[in-house]
Structures are given as C-alpha cells and as structure tokens.
Structure 1
C-alpha cells in the first residue's frame, strides 16, 4: 500500500511539474506529459501502471475520463457558437460519421486490418479529445472562432467516437453469430445513447432546479455535482457500455448553460480537478508503453498512420465544411489539427481485448496503433499549432498586452506611452464619451462592460497578459480584478489605490481585488494632478553602457517606476522599486517622472529610448 501511495504521489508530482514547465516556458503541456510518462515508464522503469495499480487502473481511468468530459461539457457555452455554429454542426453531425467511414476504409485497405477491427478503430479515431486540445489552445493563443470550433469538436466528438466504436463492436458480434441480430444490436446501442443523453439532461436540470431553490447548501454543491457525474456515468454504462461518456458530456452542457449562481465556483473546481486528472492519467497511459508494443507495427501500419494524418483528416474537414462559408484559413488549420489523447487510448484498450477474445486476432493491434497515433499527433500538432496559426494569421504574434479598465487622462496617457513603445495595450470603458480622447489618438479601445458575459466573446483574453483596473470606483476595480484573476492570473491583475486609504469599505478581504502598484497607490485624483502639473510617462531602454544602476542614479528622486517591458515583450507592472533595479540589458523601464526631470538626463539621450 505504501508503495502504491508513493507511486500515485510520483504521478501527481510529475503531472504538476510538467504543467508548470509548460506554462513557464510556453511549451506544449501534453508533450511534456507524454515525455514524463515515457521517462518513468519504459525508460526509467520506475512505474509499471498495470502491475502497480492492478485491477484499479481501468476503472480509475474510466472515471477520470468521465470527469474530464464533464468538465469539457460544462465549458461549452451555447453563446460561443455565434459565428461558428455552422462549422461546429458540420464537423460533428457530418464530419464525425464521415471520419468514421474514411478512417475505417483506410485501416482496412492501407493498414491491412480486418473489417471488424477497422470499423471499431475508425470510430475510435473520431475522438480528438479535450484532454489534448485544451492545453494546446491555452498556449497557442488562437483566434476565437477556430479555437471555439476545435474545442466543441474535441468535446462533442469524444462520446460520438466511443458510440461509433460500440456500434461497430455490437454489429461485429451480431454478424459473428449469424447476422440475425444486426438490427437489434443497432437499436440497442442507439437507444442506449438516447437514454444516456436524456439522463444527462434530466440530471442537469434537476441540479439547476435544486440550486435555484436553495435546497443544497454551498458546501455540498460541488460534491453533489461530482457524485451526480459519477452516478450518471455508471448508470448509462450499465445499459450500454461507453454511453456513459454521452451522459456526462450532456450533463456538463446542461449545467454549464443553466445560468446557476454557483456556476463559476463549480467550473473552477472542475477545471482544477480535470487538470490534475489529465496530467495523471496521461502519464499513467504513456508509462504503460514498452518497446515491444510499438515494434509489432509493420510498414503497412505506419503507412496507415500517415494516411490518417494526411488524407483522412483533411478529407473529413474539407468535405464536411463544403459550402459553409468557413474561411479557407480556418479549414486549413482544422484539416491538420486533430490530436488524440486519453479517451482514444482507453477505448482502444477496452475494445482491442474484446475483439481478440471474439476471435479477431488483429484486435490486439488497436493498443499499439492508438499509442502510435497519440504520440504522433501530440508531438506533431503540439509543436506545429502555434507556428501554423501564425502563418495563417489566426494567432497573435505579438506578446500578451496590457488591458486598462477605465478611460481617463491617466490611463489614456499611459496607453499613449505604451503605443509609442509598440507595446500592445487596450483601453476599455463603458462610456463612449470617456473613450473619445483615446479614439482620437488612434489607440486600441474596447467599448463595453468588463463584467458582462458578452465581453469574453468580443475581447480576446488570449492576447492579454496583464490587467490594470483604474476607474474612480474602487469597488468596481476590485470586482474586475477578482473576476479576471482566474482567467489572467492572480499575480497579473492590478488596480489603482483608493482615494481615501484606510476608509474604503470595498477592500473587505485581502483576497479580493488586485494588487496596488506603488506608481498607482496615490489614487486617480493625485495622478491627474501630477499630469496637469507636467509629470509624464518616460521610457528608458537599458543598454550595456547605461544599465539599471546608472539609470536609477540619473533619475529624479520623485520619479516612480510604472512597469518594465522585458526583451521578449512581456509586461511586468512594478510592485516596488526593485523592479527597475532588476531590469536587464535590453529591457525598457517606463516611469512617471516630474516635469523638471525630463531634461535632466545626461547620458540616456531621448530618455534612453531606441
């Protein structure tokens, strides 16, 4: 037992470490998770999941997949489909069956698999998987429309692919028995899928009804939802295997669109849980690999894998999206990006063994083939998504910028200074009138309410790395920072200081709102007065001849560091004066300086700017 606990802890630690490294160095997380699993499994022999976890491995993976799909479903907002509904509908309703048929045909005619095995594996390959798509989209910073399409396809097609595999397997058994029960098998599977979907809808509506009427206390809401997910999964699977994936996906979709008060808290909890499960399960599955697993594949199988990537996926996308009006650049991206993940491997392990037991010997090839396609797509798509998206103009090449919430003389002057530095910044406000100076100056603006659900569909948060809330209402600033903190990162949200420090009721707790940087601690009124008196935002690029020490010695004592723009374009708002001291060669320091300091610089020359 102690050994099992230690290995479970090792898996969790490796998963978290891989996710952190991926975030820190902007690397595809799924690639690092795969490498971690291979390192402790077939290479290091520290982990042997089948032997270590025994009969617990399959049910643990199955339940983890159920929770992951539920978390994906809860994030599917119907309002996201605005402008992408046609593409999503075609890729799921037309593309999924078409991909099944094309994949099965390629498996038989190119891979040399029997028709029963080809039909099952063709269904499995429909699964593109949120476990892989979600980490890739998080780091690629794709435009909203292709990102939404990939997310919906990945989540919706997971249960569809499992359903196709079940359908093919049941028909295979019926044909093996003489063919008399084919229609009965089809009806059984389809009825199971319908009942599973109905179960998901009813369970979701029941939870929403109970929450709205206050029948469940706050501390029991998340546990109740989690228990309902697992119960729905088990009940659906008890009638037809793998239809539980349909039930949990529909359950998540129903709850996610029910507009219940506790939705955000649940969504964040499930997101944390799903991240941990994705990390752990992917490491466990890749750790089960051994050199012999992949060595059973011959050149026919390798040719088939190439056909899946280069023929089946492009043909599926191009044929299913024909006549939809989806831009060609979106089609080109979708034709290439279709990584497979946990669900494909898990289903392959289940049906591969069953086909082999039923007398179809090549069913044993499903596991090595699925691992091969997962590794291939994870590596190829993980490394190519961002470059391809940039090449097609579907992802921002510039570093994440600064979002300034609240248009006034201070934020407008700061936005102008950042624009002069070619640093991306967006000035947002609910008043068109207050945005007028920024509009006349040609600055990037957003006219809308930051706390509205509509904002996330019009403002691309993938291109925002830092937030400064600078309205005159400290309570509103705190709400904006609290709302955007989980999206942007708690350490990247800031707000201006209150007008009357120590007496503002908005700051009820230390975990509400954002940090107050020294440059903005005096409050908007003081900062406006300083600008009226001639203070200005001054930029200085540090060089080998004019480093941080020389800059600080030459700067006016009253000046205060606002932010530092690193060489790679990252924006770091100064939390203290050490930010300027730690600035390196090539970094740009932006400071708020008094009027008599502008001409005081002797060595910087034009503020040291390039």
Structure 2
C-alpha cells in the first residue's frame, strides 16, 4: 500500500512538472503527458496502473472525468453563441452524425471490422476529448469564435458520444434479452432524468447559496459534493449517464449568475489542471504494448482516413452555410484530438463484446489508442503553428489594456498605437472616452469587471494590463481580477496616493499589480506633469543610438516604458530585467526640450535596484 501511494504521488509530481516544462518550452502540455506516461509505463515499467491500483483505478478516472467535464461546462457561456451559435449547432447536429457515418465506413471497409464493431468504434471516435482540447485551446490562444466552437464541440460531444457508444453496446450485448424499442425507451428516460438532475442541482445550489443556507467556507465543497453525487445518481439510471448530468450541471451554474461563480471557476481550473495531468499520464502508462502487435497496414490506413478524410469532410459538410470563414473551417477540420474518455469507453466495452462472440473487438483498444496517439501528437504540435498561419491566433500577445480614460492615458494609448502595438482604452464613463474616440483609438465603454465586458471584450491580442484610474482601490481590484488571465508579471497599476504606514493597513501585495514607474508616479503627479506640458518621447535603440545617449537628453525625473524587440513591455525601469539594447524601443514621459541629464547609466542602475 505504501509503495502504491508513493507511485501515485510520483505521478502527480510528474504531471505538474510536465505542465511547468510545457509552459517553459512553449509546447502543449498534453504532448508531454503522453510522453511521460509512455516512459514510466510501457517503456520504463515503473508504473502499471491496472496492477498497482486495481479496480480503484477506473473509479478514480471516472470521477476525475466527471469533475473535468463539470469544469468544462462552467466555461460554456451562452453569450458565446451570439458569434458561434449557428456553427456550434451545425457541428453537433450535423457534424456528429456525419462523423459517425463516415467513421463507420472507415472502420468497416478500411480497417476490415465487422458491422457491429464498426458501429461501436465509430461512435466512440465522434468524441473530441475536452481533457485534450481545452489545454490546447488555452495554449494556442485562438480567436474567440474558433475557440468557442472547439470548446462547445468538445464538451457537448463528449457525453453525447459516450451515450451513443453506450446505446450501441447495450443493443449489441442485450439485444437478445430486450427489444431495441425497450432499450431506446429506457435510454431516453435516463437521458431526460440526467438532464433534469443537472438543471435541478444547479438551481438548488443557487437557491441555497443566495438564501444564506450554506456558509461561505462550505460553498465550494458543497459544489464538489453535488458534482460527485449527481454523477453517482445518474449512473444508476444508466451506465455513463453521470457524464451528461455533470456537464448539464456545469452549464447551468455557468449561466445563472451565481455569486460565487468566479471563485468556483478559479478553484475548478486549479483542480482540473491537476486531474488532467494525473489521469492522462496514468492512462498512457496503462498502455499494453501487446495491443499494437496485431495491427497491420489496415490500421495505418484507418488512422489516416480518420485524420485526413473523416474529420475534414464531417466538418466541411456539417458547417456549410454556418457563416464560418474558410480558414476557420480548415482549422476545425484538422483539430479533433481524442483523449481519456474515448480510451476509457473502449476499455469498458471491448471485453464485453469479446465475451459476446465479437472476435474483432480485440482491435477496439489498439485502434482507439492509435487514434489518440496520432491526434494528440499531430494536433497538439500543429495547432499553434497552423492557427497563426491561418490568422486565427495572435503570434505575439503584446497588446495593452489601459483601464481609466484621462488625457494622460489617452496620449499613452496613442503613442503605443504608433508603435503598432494593439491597445484598448477602457472606461465606464462615456465622456472620458471622447478624446480617444476622436483620435480613432480602440475603446471599450463599460465597467471592465462586469459580465458584459467579459462577453464583449476581445483580449486575444492583449498581453498586458495597466490600471491607471484615479481610484487606487479600484486599480487594485482590477489587477486582482485579471492576474489569472494575464499573469502577475504582466499586470500593472499606478502607485497609491499615500504610502502605507503599515502593510496590514493597506491592500495586501498579493492582491496588487506591479507598481508602474515607481512609487512617485502617482495619478495626481502624472496628471499635473501632463498639464505642465510633459510629453511622451519615443526612440528605437541601435548600436549607434544607445540607451545612454537617449537618456542623456532627458530631464529627471522621467518615467520610462520599454518595448523590447520581442514585444515584451515594462512600465518602469525597475520592472525590466536586463539592459535596453538594439532593437528595443524606449518611451519616455518627460519635460519637452529639457536640459540634458548626466550619468544616465547610473540612474538606470539605481532605478532597477
């Protein structure tokens, strides 16, 4: 038991390590999960999940998938359907049946499987696993509509595909004992019951939380308990119905304006990050190399057809007239990675069909894992590159969201635009945005912390946030809200009007953004200098025109923004690691026609210290 626990701990540590390494070298984490699982399982033999964890393995995997699907459902917001609704409907209602039918043809005529096994395998493969697609979408930072279609398809198709496979397996294994009609009636009632459970569970939690029947410290544990409970109850109605129930629960809670939604989503994202890594590594480590020894050229041809014929044709035909552009259709037709749900369903039904006399069911697991391997590796490694080539994602996230419209921030936004940097100026007061509108600057009118702004703001090209309103507490609140989106090192705010006498009397630093331009660059100081005639001056550094030469012309105090040749931005010298060099652009907020300053290099070093 102790050794088994150590193995599980080791897998969890390995999963988080692969997450970090993937972030560091900028490749999809799912590819490293697969490689790690293969190395510690089939290759290294350090972990044999079936042997080490026994029957508990499948139960843990099912619960993990339930939580992952619930978290995915939370991220499905109905407002996304305003842009992608027609495409989502068509890719589910038309694309899924087309994928099933074309997949059946590939299974039967290319892989050479019998009709019953072909029907089941093609049903399993309509699933595009959310455990794979969500990390890929997050990594590639796709355009909002493309990301929305992939998310909705992955999360909605997952339980549908599983239920389709369950229905086929029920008919194949119990066809003699029950009529097809009775199986369909039972299945329909189970689906209705699972959907009802999911909706009722979400509404019950909303009522209990908003009426004060559950204390704050118990709310998130209560949600987790509801997910597990509904999964178990729905599974009693029919096998695998729990996945549908928890998906509906997530969608319901994500769209009924629950007060704890943001805290819940943040907690669930952290849990899901851990679960996806652990489960995917365990499933990959559980691969049996002997499964692949029986595969021949037919299997290779089958996998080729699934990747290059079935998926592109299903998406192309299913989305005709949906309003998708050609590049969106091309990307969607290529990206369809399968994940742990397809593997677990194949592992569940293959032994049952073999017992019922379907001899070619032995090929179910090898073919499913073959598709998983190729789709995870090929789609995982190509998504970011292909989306850039098709102009469906930003090559560099170097844009700046500036919160708080005033003459100083409007001028700053104008200067950043002159450098071809994406910028958007946000304010909840219309007349403050007048000057920006007249200059043709991108603006967003509305409260940035509101749900409406979350729905309407396109942050695909944005990589930084500067909170520069006159309200210190509001700046801190905005930074705290967007730290998770941009990263703590890319969220800035102006310093507080008054220095805190004691740290505990002010806002804790954990909830603040990085201080832009130093402690003296307070809002009233910058505005006063602006009205005194201070301006933004910019200069691109070269071998001849160095930072020292530029800074020597400035009158201290001055406030600098550094835009590196690679698109990284630092608001203030102390926030930049390294020395400005050729290819970088320096923007200085300084007095116009000021006398030259001396010892610029010394001032730069002191500011960094």
207-216 or 506-515, which deviates more: 506-515
1:301 aligns with 2:299: yes
- The superposition leaves residues 149-173 of structure 1 with CA deviations (integer Å, 9 ceiling, x where unpaired) of 1101100000000001001101112
- SS of corresponding position for 1:338: coil
Q: Are the aligned partners of 1:559 and 1:592 in contact in 2 as well (CA < 8 Å)? A: no
Q: Give the equivalent residue in structure 1 for 2:450.
A: 452
1:551 positional shift: 5.8
CA 1:524–1:506 in 2, change beyond 3 Å: closer, same or farther? farther
- 1:482 maps to which of 480, 483, 499: 480
Distance 2:426 2:595 in 1: 29
Q: Give the equivalent residue in structure 1 for 2:183.
A: 185
Q: Give the equivalent residue in structure 2 for 1:608.
A: none
CA 1:75–1:439 in 2, change beyond 3 Å: closer, same or farther? same
Q: Give the equivalent residue in structure 2 for 1:142.
A: 142
- The superposition leaves residues 214-269 of structure 1 with CA deviations (integer Å, 9 ceiling, x where unpaired) of 11111111111111111111111123111111111011111111211111111111
Distance 2:77 2:591 in 1: 49
- SS of corresponding position for 1:591: strand
- The superposition leaves residues 283-312 of structure 1 with CA deviations (integer Å, 9 ceiling, x where unpaired) of 111122243333322111111111111221
1:581 positional shift: 4.7
Alignment of 1:142-541 (within 5 A): 142-175=142-175, 177=176, 181-502=179-500, 507-519=506-518, 521-541=520-540
Distance 2:282 2:549 in 1: 52
Q: Are the aligned partners of 1:400 and 1:462 in contact in 2 as well (CA < 8 Å)? A: no
1:416 positional shift: 2.5
1:395 positional shift: 1.8
TM-score scaled by length of structure 1: 0.92
Distance 1:312 1:232 in 2: 35
1:477 positional shift: 1.5
Paired residues in the alignment total 600
1:566 positional shift: 2.9
- SS of corresponding position for 1:10: helix
- SS of corresponding position for 1:434: helix
- The superposition leaves residues 480-523 of structure 1 with CA deviations (integer Å, 9 ceiling, x where unpaired) of 11222222223322211233444999944333342322347432
Distance 1:84 1:43 in 2: 43
Distance 1:360 1:351 in 2: 11
1:14 positional shift: 1.8
Q: Are the aligned partners of 1:171 and 1:186 in contact in 2 as well (CA < 8 Å)? A: no
CA 1:349–1:559 in 2, change beyond 3 Å: closer, same or farther? farther
Distance 2:595 2:469 in 1: 28
Distance 1:551 1:34 in 2: 52
- The superposition leaves residues 54-95 of structure 1 with CA deviations (integer Å, 9 ceiling, x where unpaired) of 222111111100110011111111122112211111222232
1:578 positional shift: 6.7
Distance 2:561 2:43 in 1: 45
Distance 1:286 1:586 in 2: 45
1:537 positional shift: 3.1
CA 1:544–1:487 in 2, change beyond 3 Å: closer, same or farther? same
CA 1:368–1:571 in 2, change beyond 3 Å: closer, same or farther? farther
CA 1:597–1:285 in 2, change beyond 3 Å: closer, same or farther? farther
1:431 positional shift: 3.2
Q: Give the equivalent residue in structure 1 for 2:584.
A: 587
Q: Are the aligned partners of 1:16 and 1:279 in contact in 2 as well (CA < 8 Å)? A: yes
Distance 2:234 2:154 in 1: 21
Distance 2:297 2:570 in 1: 52
Distance 1:62 1:247 in 2: 13
- The superposition leaves residues 538-595 of structure 1 with CA deviations (integer Å, 9 ceiling, x where unpaired) of 44445556666x4698465724553332332122334x53726544553334333344
Distance 2:570 2:311 in 1: 41
1:94 aligns with 2:91: no
Distance 1:545 1:283 in 2: 53
Distance 1:495 1:377 in 2: 42
CA 1:329–1:580 in 2, change beyond 3 Å: closer, same or farther? closer
1:201 positional shift: 1.4
Distance 2:36 2:542 in 1: 40
CA 1:560–1:197 in 2, change beyond 3 Å: closer, same or farther? same
Alignment of 1:589-608 (within 5 A): 589-597=586-594
| Root mean square deviation of aligned Cα | 2.6
TM-score scaled by length of structure 2: 0.92
- SS of corresponding position for 1:170: helix
Distance 1:422 1:144 in 2: 22
CA 1:163–1:323 in 2, change beyond 3 Å: closer, same or farther? same
Q: Please list every run of 5 or more consecutive structure 2 residues that lacks an aligned counterpart in the other structure.
A: 602-609
Distance 2:575 2:428 in 1: 35
1:65 aligns with 2:62: no
- SS of corresponding position for 1:281: helix
